[in-house]
Structure 1
Amino acid sequence: MEALEATMEAVKEKILREDYIGATYAVMDAQNALLNHPDLSHVAVLCDVLRAKDIALPGCGIDWSWLLRLLPSASPSDVESQHRLLSSEISDLGPSFPGAATALALLDEARSALLDQVTETARPRWTAEDFVPDEIWAVFGASRFPRHHVKVKWMVSESEVLVSLLEPQPEQDEENLPSVCGVFKPSDDVMCVDIARFSHRMNCDRNELESLYRIRPNKGEIWAIYAGWNRNWRWTDQANCEYWVVEIVSEFGEERGIVVSRLVRVDGCETFFKREMHDGFQMVMYVCEAEILRFSHRIPAFTVPGIERHGILKGSLHLCPDALPPKPTWA
């Protein structure tokens, strides 16, 4: 009990100094030593909320989804439920606990902002000006990941794009494998897709004569790959698989394939990642041409200026939350 009280006093002092990173690490150390006492769990939530208010994404301000630990696609009921849960955690600390009133006000503001976003019909991430005929895009589908590729034909309205789905052209022994890389051909069928389902543009090699598109990971991109993939997989094997998150560090080579570097989550952050290091060396692996189908999907990512001021390693990447896999194997 004395250790818990000492930790709480140290955390309070750090929060009063607005040292939220230091408070977070103090809580983490105490959780390891005190077997995750409930009071420490409440303080951990408090620190997460207070830290989130100081990290503004380019052109977006505070990431309210991140603050409430929600995907951007969350429903109004998800927003309400998560707001109640986090508010309850912080309220249990009592109104006099340092930072509690500020955190509760932030949660209320996040709730209002997100409910506005999910109830308005014309506020998608993209606009009509973002789409050009013949571009190739990745879109979200039933799997909730951006695993489907489409070719843009034209805008139907301010919120819908007419597209043709790219169909994989597999080798005979690959017909039953999930495929986001390889050779694709536009379907003759067209469909209208809401622009909110579009994730990112895809770079690909084109054979205009045969209307074929070859999609491979490109240097600098971030992808999720299946940790235990093998060529005997079928679509049903995706349900219980685990993933690695990797950065592509080389262009594709016919002989050695692609070199990738595993990414690990930054301590105390849900969506910031850095390269995995061991004794000062970057950890890399090769994915050969025969294993190209172990790539699950690309994850949009970008850098956030000034994150080192908040205790996050400079150069760390912010990964799109709604494309992060549910069962990662990162440390």
Structure 2
Amino acid sequence: MTLTKTGMECFFGGQVWAVYDTLDAMPRFYAQIKKVMSPGFNLQITWLEAHPDDHDDFEWVKEGLPVACGKFRYGKSQYSDKRLMFSHPIDLEEGGQRDTYKIFPRKGETWALFKNWDIKWKSDADSHQEYDCEFVEILSEYAEGVGAYVTFLG
């Protein structure tokens, strides 16, 4: 994808983009482009917020720990003129419930996985705000309850 002076031609209404986390510059937030305005670079976006079904996942979200995949729903809207906060466009899948959407790794994508991850981090979230990641390529489509095959990148 080549950006011109404003980069506006890469963005259009309805797209969902991964957005970089300012903590560690990993793309783990998501925003849907609602409206592209010009002149210059100005977008109206709506954030997607994690909306888990599982109790442990809900507690994880409640503790403010990062969520990069799972079930999401639309949250707050805002305007942004910060082009560099956007990483790449992604595809959404209907979530099975009204106004919910699923985001999971797709075959061929590169993802960062938490190193030595444990759902129990939610019990002591403050000590897990810093973490290490390993980068993987997704080799198969994700299946709920099963996961996906990956290969580690060196």
Name the residue aligned to 2:116: 228
- Is this contact kept in 2: 1:156–1:192, CA < 8 A? no
- Cα distance, 1:221–1:148 mapped onto 2, change above 3 Å: same
Cα shift at 1:161: 1.1
Structure with larger Rg: 1
Name the residue aligned to 1:159: 41
Name the residue aligned to 1:21: none
Corresponding pairs, count: 142
2:86 and 2:5 map into 1 onto residues whose CA distance is 13
Name the residue aligned to 2:133: 243
The runs of at least 4 aligned residues of structure 1 exceeding 4 Å deviation read: none
1:262 and 1:207 map into 2 onto residues whose CA distance is 29
After superposition, what is the alpha-carbon deviation per residue over 1:244-300, rounded to whole angstroms, capped at 9, x for unaligned?
Answer: 110000112345321100010xxxxxxxxxxxxxxxxxxxxxxxxxxxxxxxxxxxx
1:255 and 1:182 map into 2 onto residues whose CA distance is 12
Name the residue aligned to 2:14: 134
1:247 and 1:59 map into 2 onto residues whose CA distance is 23
Structure 1: stretches of 5+ with no match in the other structure: 1-57, 61-121, 265-331
- Is this contact kept in 1: 2:20–2:29, CA < 8 A? yes
**1:161-310 residue pairs with structure 2 within 5 A?**
161-170=43-52, 171-177=54-60, 178-187=66-75, 189-193=76-80, 194-207=82-95, 210-234=98-122, 235-236=125-126, 237-239=128-130, 241-254=131-144, 256-264=146-154
* Percent of pairs with identical residues: 28
Task: Give 1:149's aligned amino acid.
Answer: Y
Report the secondary structure of 1:210's partner residue.
coil
- Is this contact kept in 2: 1:223–1:246, CA < 8 A? yes
The structure with higher relative contact order (CA 8 Å, sep 6+) is 2
Cα shift at 1:142: 2.5
Which shows bigger deviation, 141-150 or 215-224?
141-150
- How large is the RMSD of aligned CA atoms in angstroms? 2.4
- Cα distance, 1:135–1:208 mapped onto 2, change above 3 Å: farther
After superposition, what is the alpha-carbon deviation per residue over 1:161-182, rounded to whole angstroms, capped at 9, x for unaligned?
Answer: 1101101111322124221100
Structure 2: stretches of 5+ with no match in the other structure: 61-65
By percentage of residues, which structure has more helix?
A: 1
Report the secondary structure of 2:56's partner residue.
helix
Compute the TM-score of the two structures, normalised by the length of structure 2: 0.80
Compute the TM-score of the two structures, normalised by the length of structure 1: 0.39
- Is this contact kept in 1: 2:71–2:95, CA < 8 A? no
By percentage of residues, which structure has more strand?
A: 2
